[in-house]
Structure 1
Amino acid sequence: MKETVIAAVIQSLEKELERQARANAQSNAASAFSAAHAEKQRDTTGFEAAHLARGYAGQALELQHRMDELKAMPVEDFTGQEIDVGAMVEVDFDGESDTYLLLNCGGGTEVKVDGCTVTVITPESPLGSRLMNNFEAGFVELPTGLEGIILAVY
């Protein structure tokens, strides 16, 4: 199942990359148009659009790099091992079970596979940092004070 989840995450990130490419193209077009049609000396619209385009381009490059790493990442089984990047973890918070996939990119991405919703978290996130190096049947406490029990690690 983990392979299917990772494939769905990659597909979702590819859509995000396409969205960023479109936004970059729009910002570049706006930059060129504004520079050619500036009405006042202090009209900074073109400069702002160019700055925005550079930001989108940088984000797109970073996302592409992370996706390449994700595509090359071996799919491991973390059963009985410490939780690390690549682990899928089921956690119970107050009687509700949620499934998370710990990856270096795509934090917040949700995918639905075989009726199960899986949320991508990163090691930098509050939950991701608390799960790292933990084991199945361990406890996890978030900075908010919410406590959970690690039910399964895949």
Structure 2
Amino acid sequence: MKRIILNTILQELERELSRLSHANEQSNKGAAFSAPNAEKQRDTTGVEAAFLAHGYAKQCITLAKQIEELKALEVEDFTGQEVDVGALVEVEMSGETDCYLLLHCGGGGEVTVDGKRVTVITPESPLGASLMGNIEAGSFSFRAGEEGIILDVC
């Protein structure tokens, strides 16, 4: 199941990369068209489009690297082990049960696989940091004393 979840996340990230690439392409076209056609000295449309294109390009590079890292990620079974990157963790907090996949990237993304909603968290996130190193059936503290229980780790 974890491989299916990871593949679904990869598909979402690849769609995002495609969207960002298209936005970068449009911004580059806007920058190239606006500069020679500026009507006034203070027309900054081309400069603004160039800044956007630069930002999109940086995001594309970062996201492409993250996608490659995820493709290379070994799918491990963390049953009976400490929570670490790659672990799928089911937790109960405030009477609600949620499922999280701990990864180095894609934090905040959500996918639904076989009717189960899985949220991607990173070790740098408050929840990810709280879960790291804990084991199944253990409790953890999160956000100013709120506590949770780790129901399952795989």
State the TM-score bracket (shorter-chain normalisation).
over 0.9
Distance 1:82 1:96 in 2: 22
What is aligned with 1:108?
Answer: 108
What is aligned with 1:5?
Answer: 5
What is aligned with 1:79?
Answer: 79
Indicate how the Cα distance of structure 1 residues 25 and 144 shifts in structure 2: closer, same or farther if over 3 A, else same.
farther
What is aligned with 1:53?
Answer: 53
Amino acid corresponding to residue 132 of structure 1 in structure 2: M
Range that drifts further, 40-49 or 105-114: 40-49
Map of 1:94-105 to 2, 5 A cutoff? 94-105=94-105
Q: CA deviation at 1:144?
A: 4.5
Range that drifts further, 117-126 or 40-49: 40-49
TM-score, normalised relative to structure 1? 0.95
Q: Secondary structure at the match of 2:47?
A: helix
- The RMSD of aligned alpha carbons is 1.1
What is aligned with 1:148?
Answer: 148
Q: Secondary structure at the match of 1:36?
A: coil
Q: CA deviation at 1:139?
A: 1.7
Give % identity. Answer: 62
Residue 27 in structure 1 maps to residue 35 in structure 2:
no
Q: Secondary structure at the match of 2:35?
A: helix
Distance 1:144 1:111 in 2: 28
Distance 1:46 1:93 in 2: 50
Distance 1:134 1:99 in 2: 15
Amino acid corresponding to residue 69 of structure 1 in structure 2: E
Amino acid corresponding to residue 38 of structure 1 in structure 2: A
What is aligned with 1:16?
Answer: 16
Mind listing any 5+ residue stretches in structure 2 that lack a counterpart?
A: none
Q: CA deviation at 1:98?
A: 0.3
Map of 1:58-73 to 2, 5 A cutoff? 58-73=58-73
Aligned residue pairs total 154
What is aligned with 2:130?
Answer: 130
Amino acid corresponding to residue 89 of structure 1 in structure 2: V
Mind listing any 5+ residue stretches in structure 1 that lack a counterpart?
A: none
Distance 1:46 1:76 in 2: 48
